[in-house]
């Protein structure tokens, strides 16, 4: 069945569900809410299985979520709402739009790996990406002979660096997301630019023998920071897709629907960026922690992030699928 025929057959039922959810709903409409909710769950499962347009899936998902809240939830504490979002809704949204996630990841990590290898093979290339003064600054920051890694500071300024990392990382994330308004091209360019810059620096520092200080510094918080940057690019691509391929909707309506989901992705990415800033300020920069310990913890963190997006929230999805 085509998406258009699917909408034609079931539009009346969806409108009836919307009416049941409205403040002006009559008693009979409220009583019909459970049956209409179950029907909408079934339609959502079919739309996902048949890979119908994202705008249609999002509309049905919104109806199901609103009806579920009306039926089963009273006033939920803020902590409960946050935990539900982080443990169920956020990873489920990322899986639903996994194609855009992998496109963003390819742009970022592809540029990163390509420039790291290029600078390793052609050392002078670093000066085409980063100016000489910045190269000297990076070499100083990761010099193995220093007592601290990264920016010069003492223990009392770790909290200041925590704030700096939050501002810096969220600034990059927001730029990556906002670039999606340029038909998605802006997000791709910013992802590639950051991948090129970080990859070039990584290749240079590894080549000159600073690999242990550099990689032990970035490996831990990178699990959250780099993943968050990719997620911001994914959210930007959602905006770009709405502008370039709105389907049967007007561009404004398609953008509004996609923005609702994209903003939720940004919420989750922001949480990851805060975690990254915390680790970067208090863990990654410490020279008291042996590099081997940092590598072991980094492996656990990357594994945990991978499992989180693969498995978190699947129980709730399975519970709703048969509706």
Tokens coding 146? 């220093």
Kindly list the averaged pLDDT for each block of 10 residues, start to end, along the chain of length 323.
Answer: 85 83 66 82 86 87 83 64 86 93 97 96 93 91 77 60 80 91 94 96 94 92 95 95 86 87 94 92 83 95 96 64 42
Are 171 and 302 in a shared domain?
yes
pLDDT of 33 reads: 78
Residue 146 located in a structural domain: yes
pLDDT of 29 reads: 67
Residue 85 located in a structural domain: no
Return d(Cα 103, Cα 109) in angstroms, integer: 10
Are 110 and 219 in a shared domain?
yes
Are 45 and 12 in a shared domain?
yes
pLDDT of 163 reads: 74
pLDDT of 24 reads: 61
Are 182 and 247 in a shared domain?
yes
Return d(Cα 176, Cα 262) in angstroms, integer: 12
- Residue 171 CA: distances (Å) to CA of 90, 196, 260: 21, 18, 20
Are 11 and 138 in a shared domain?
no
pLDDT of 144 reads: 85
Are 180 and 284 in a shared domain?
yes
Cβ 43 vs Cβ 287: under 8 Å: no
**Which DSSP string do the residues of 227-284 spell out, in sequence order?**
HHHHHHHHHHHHHHHHHH--TTS-HHHHHHHHHHHHHHHHHHHHHHHHHHHHHIIIII
Are 71 and 12 in a shared domain?
yes
Sort 32 into a burial class: Cβ within 10 Å, 0-12 / 13-18 / 19+. middle
Residue 88 located in a structural domain: no
Residue 220 located in a structural domain: yes
Return d(Cα 192, Cα 178) in angstroms, integer: 15
Q: Which domain holds residue 311?
A: 96-315
Return d(Cα 59, Cα 247) in angstroms, integer: 14
Are 102 and 70 in a shared domain?
no
pLDDT of 188 reads: 96
Return d(Cα 288, Cα 147) in angstroms, integer: 9
- What is the chain's length? 323
pLDDT of 136 reads: 92
Out of 40, 75, 110, a domain closes at 75
Q: In degrees rounded to 5, what are phi and psi of residue 169?
A: -70, -45
Of 69, 21, 61, the closest CA to residue 44 belongs to 61
Return d(Cα 189, Cα 237) in angstroms, integer: 11
**Which DSSP string do the residues of 273-317 spell out, in sequence order?**
HHHHHHHIIIIIT-SSS-HHHHHHHHHHHHHHHHHHHHHTTHHHH
pLDDT of 318 reads: 46
Check: pTM over 0.85? Answer yes or no: no
Going 37 to 39 to 45 to 46, the CA torsion angle's sign is negative
Cβ 42 vs Cβ 1: under 8 Å: no
């Amino acid at each position: 069945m085509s998406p258009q025929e699917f909408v034609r057959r079931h539009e009346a039922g969806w409108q009836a569900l919307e009416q049941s959810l409205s403040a002006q709903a009559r008693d009979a409409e409220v009583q019909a809410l459970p049956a209409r909710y179950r029907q909408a769950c079934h339609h959502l499962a079919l739309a996902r299985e048949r890979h119908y347009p994202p705008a249609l899936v999002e509309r049905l998902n919104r109806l199901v979520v609103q009806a579920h809240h009306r039926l089963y939830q009273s006033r939920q504490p803020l902590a409960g709402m946050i935990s539900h979002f982080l443990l169920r809704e956020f990873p489920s949204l990322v899986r639903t739009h996994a194609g855009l996630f992998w496109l963003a990841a390819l742009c970022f990590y592809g540029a990163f790996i390509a420039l790291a290898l290029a600078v390793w093979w052609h050392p002078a290339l670093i000066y085409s990406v980063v100016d000489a003064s910045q190269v000297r600054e990076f070499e100083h920051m990761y010099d193995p002979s220093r007592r601290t890694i990264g920016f010069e500071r003492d223990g009392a300024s770790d909290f200041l660096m925590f704030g700096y990392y939050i501002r810096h990382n969220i600034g990059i994330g927001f730029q990556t997301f906002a670039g999606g308004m340029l038909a998605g091209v802006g997000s791709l360019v910013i992802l590639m630019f950051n991948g090129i810059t970080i990859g070039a620096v990584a290749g240079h520092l590894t080549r000159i023998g600073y690999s242990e200080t550099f990689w032990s510094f970035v490996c831990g918080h990178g699990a959250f920071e780099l993943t968050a940057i990719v997620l911001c690019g994914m959210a930007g691509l959602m905006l770009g897709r709405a502008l370039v391929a709105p389907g049967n909707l007007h561009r404004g309506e398609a953008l509004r629907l996609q923005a609702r989901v994209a903003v939720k992705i940004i919420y989750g990415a922001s949480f990851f960026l805060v975690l990254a800033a915390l680790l970067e300020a208090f863990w990654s920069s410490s020279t008291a922690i042996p590099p081997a310990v940092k590598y072991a913890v980094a492996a656990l963190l990357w594994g945990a992030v991978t499992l989180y997006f693969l498995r978190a929230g699947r129980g709730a999805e399975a519970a709703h699928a048969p509706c």
